[in-house]
Amino acid sequence: MNNRDYILQAIQYIENHLEDDISVLSVSKEIGYSLFHFSRLFQAVSGHSPKDYILKRRLSEAAKTITKTNHRLTDIAFMYHFNDYETFSRAFKRVFGLNPTDLRKSEQPIMLPYLSELTHEDVYHIEKIKDIEPSIVELDKMYLVGLSTLVRGSTQIITELWSKFDEEISDIKNKKTPDKFCELHYWPEKYELDGFFVMCGVETNNLSHIPTLLNGKIIPKARYLKFVHKGLSRNVGLTYRYIFQTWLPKYNYKLSIPFEFEYYGKNYLGPNHEQSESEIYIPIKQL
């Protein structure tokens, strides 16, 4: 096995024992590595220290348990091996920005920066992109004209949306030159939907002419983190997972506006090209 396979073995062991009394040392022993070597390797492969991964996975599962069950908060804290409720609550607020009681009392769904289980696909994708550092850019206001839909569950509908949009592009008369295609993801300020909106569009000079079957959207002037997705378009979700679950939590940034968009520029070679590159823009503010 290579190093990634050993770390995937460790991840599987952690996932199987989130409700058990495990430590970084016990995980390192399970895969036959010294604590020092295991910790360095886990960080290099996954982007997380093993301690951080165990903590955030436990907190993520605890948060889901809070929203889906009526278990007492103290019982949930002990379920995920926190010594007492106060320790659990402090860790919860540090990671999610609110305490467990606030989450339990909320009448509307709250978007939290969960850490999902890292999969084989995640780990091998991280290897491709972890050394590509984002840049900070300022973008002026942009106008998009395109087609929108609500995405719940499967993202296959996005591929279908692009196909439908391709049939309507010729009716857009005020496009920027050359064509600048974008995929915009957005959601309401008060997140009440099981899903998010997607718009497949092209940048225009203004919104003075919007064909009947299309709609317009203004992307406000903002400060962005610009990331690069390299590889197949169907794997872009892995890059978004890395950004929001691994990269952003390490730095002092917060999403400033509830949207993000992907731009297909000169390095975009098509959805099925391994060397294709697209640009991902995340609007941010300093905490």
Residue 194: predicted pLDDT = 67
Picking from 114-123, 185-194, 197-206, 271-280, which range would have the lowest pLDDT averaged per residue?
Answer: 185-194
Question: Which of 110, 144, 170 finishes a domain?
Answer: 110
Confidence of residue 187 (pLDDT cuts 50, 70, 90): confident
Task: Give tens-digit pLDDT for 73-129.
Answer: 999 999 999 999 999 999 999 999 899 999 999 877 777 889 999 999 999 998 888
- Whether residue 89 lies inside any domain: the answer is yes
158 shares its domain with 269: yes
Checking if the pLDDT of 47 tops 80, the result is yes
Picking from 179-183, 185-189, 278-282, which range would have the lowest pLDDT averaged per residue?
Answer: 185-189
Residue 147: predicted pLDDT = 97
- Whether residue 222 lies inside any domain: the answer is yes
279 shares its domain with 142: yes
Give 232-238 contacts, CB < 8 A, sequence gap 24+: 232/271, 232/272, 232/273, 232/274, 232/276, 233/271, 233/272, 233/276, 233/278, 234/271, 235/121, 235/125, 236/262, 236/278, 236/280, 237/155, 238/121, 238/122, 238/125
104 shares its domain with 36: yes
Confidence of residue 193 (pLDDT cuts 50, 70, 90): low
Confidence of residue 39 (pLDDT cuts 50, 70, 90): very high
Residue 254: predicted pLDDT = 81
Residue 106: predicted pLDDT = 86
- Whether residue 122 lies inside any domain: the answer is no
139 shares its domain with 266: yes
How high is the mean pLDDT of the chain?
92
CA–CA distance from 249 to each of 112, 138, 252 (Å)? 12, 22, 8
Domain CATH number, residue 166: 3.20.80.10
Domain count, the chain: 2
Give me the percent of the chain exceeding a pLDDT of 90.
78
Q: Report the pLDDT averaged over residues 151-174.
A: 91
Q: DSSP state, 243? A: I
143 shares its domain with 280: yes
Checking if the pLDDT of 190 tops 90, the result is no
Checking if the pLDDT of 64 tops 60, the result is yes
Residue 251: predicted pLDDT = 85
Residue 111: predicted pLDDT = 77
Residue-number span of the structural domain to which 96 is assigned: 3-110
Domain CATH number, residue 94: 1.10.10.60
Question: Which of 50, 75, 110 finishes a domain?
Answer: 110
14 shares its domain with 69: yes
203 shares its domain with 243: yes
Checking if the pLDDT of 197 tops 70, the result is yes
